[in-house]
Amino acid sequence: MQEDSNPIKDYLFEYIKNSPTIPELIINKKFDVIINKIIENCFDKIITMDTKDVAVGIFATGILHYLLTNALLNSQRKINHNRIELDIVIPDVKTLEKDPKKTLVIYIPLSSDVKTIQEKILQLEKIQSIKENIWLVLSKEITINKKSFILSKENDSFSKIIFEIAQFSNVHGTSKFKILRI
């Protein structure tokens, strides 16, 4: 399934393609450094391309798509399951249906509206019964009872997301390759 072109993702992938350091950082599995470099070099431009929440959401999705692929972590992205759109499912919907404790659902809201986010979380909890396995990527700190990563220049919690996903996959046995030893 070909994703539509988007100026934010185009800008992100152009930066990655032209970066002299990212290929070596990928080889050395320095995903936190890659994320920090991308944020440092792209964030200011990206947030001028749409409303901040939407821009950050698209940016986070693009970064995760790229890094999950390069980390060799199984995932499904932007899929509908039981009429609910899922941003990212690790490892996949089949595992979600069979064994929710081995499945991570990552929600990347395109809004900071707490009510909207909580409504979506309630939907997600209907298909992911293990509530701790629903994680969020947000554009700013908000009070929500879920594990959250903030993508901003001031907060580097997002830079740790790939390692935490890998750790989750390794602990729960969903990573066939155990590429990232943590």
Query: What local confidence, expressed as pLDDT, does residue 73 receive?
Result: 84
User: Domains in the chain, ordered, with CATH?
Assistant: 7-171 (3.40.91.80)
Q: Distance of CA 115 to CAs 28, 64, 122, Å?
A: 40, 25, 11
Give pLDDT, residue 46: 96
Task: Specify the pairing of strand 147-150 against strand 104-107.
Answer: unpaired
Give the pLDDT of the chain (182 residues) as one tens digit per residue. Answer: 445 679 999 999 999 999 999 999 999 989 999 999 999 999 999 999 999 999 999 999 999 999 998 888 889 999 999 899 999 999 999 999 999 999 999 999 999 999 999 999 999 999 999 999 999 999 999 988 899 999 999 888 999 999 899 889 877 665 444 444 43
pLDDT of residue 82: 87
- On whether the pTM is more than 0.95, the answer is no
List pLDDT tens digits, range 114-157: 999 999 999 999 999 999 999 999 999 998 889 999 999 988 89
- Give the position of tokens 């700190």: 141
Say what the pLDDT of residue 32 is: 93
Q: How many CB atoms lie within 10 A of CB 56?
A: 27
What value, to the nearest 5°, has the Cα angle with vertex 159 and ends 153 and 57?
65
Q: Which two tokens stand for residue 18?
A: 């032209």
List Cα–Cα distances, 171 to 106, 122, 164, in angstroms.
17, 26, 10
